[in-house]
Amino acid sequence: MLLSKSYRLLLIALAAAGCGPEVEVEEEGTSDWMLGTFSAAYEESPGGVASVARVIHFEFREDGTLVLTQLGGCAANYVELIQEYEWRRAGDSEVTVLVPDSESGFFETWSFTPLVTCNTLQLREVVDGVEFKRVLRRGTLCMKTAPPCGSPECPWCATELCDEPQPSCTD
């Protein structure tokens, strides 16, 4: 049986494509461990007494938006929008944030990975070649006036979850 010249070329091309080196494609990932709000408390130490000065909320939305808000004013809980970013899955165990050109001189890399401890993420940021790591906890933290402790070295501000409790670690 004679095959047409174009058909033979097509078969050769298909066979060659199947025998070539495998190209590794980075998967986008499908897990959704990052969705929801995570918080980090930032302390200051005026007079040598460490106390919560502000709380940053990191809200990962399903549409690929990361909304950062800052909470300030102990017990007043003033909310201020910091910035919105885009995020992408980098496999199933990392999220990278797309740094806008306007901030590329400050942030070089911004990524999040789940930690072994339930309901925690690690934020890894590289700024001017220096790596910083911070642990974020699932949930929205609010600030409250710390109870008196009978010492001048007591913190004046503390944090508490201001929404529903964290999801169970068995879910």
CATH of the domain at 143: 2.40.128
Please compute the mean of the pLDDT values over residues 42-65 and round it to a whole number. Answer: 79
Give mean pLDDT, residues 116-139.
89
Domain of residue 90: give its range.
Answer: 36-161
Residue 46 lies in a domain: yes
| Phi, psi for residue 154 in degrees, rounded to 5 | -85, 145
- How many angstroms separate the CA atoms of 45 and 116, rounded? 30
Residue 139 inside a domain? The answer is yes
CB within 8 A of 114, min separation 6: which ones?
A: 33, 34, 93, 120, 121, 122
Q: Is residue 13 part of a domain?
A: no
* pTM of this structure: 0.72
Is 143 a domain residue? Answer: yes
Domain count, the chain: 1
Residue 126: inside a domain: yes
- 30 is a domain residue: no
Is 47 a member of any domain?
yes
CB 114 within 8 Å of CB 121: yes
Contact yes or no for 110/125 (Cβ under 8 A): yes
Q: What is the pLDDT of residues 95-114, one digit of tens each?
A: 998 877 655 566 677 899 99
Bigger pLDDT: 42 vs 117? 117
Q: Tell me how far CA of residue 113 lies from CA of 25, 96, 106, in angstroms.
A: 20, 9, 21
Answer whether residue 82 is part of any domain: yes
Confidence class of residue 86 from pLDDT cuts 50, 70 and 90? very high
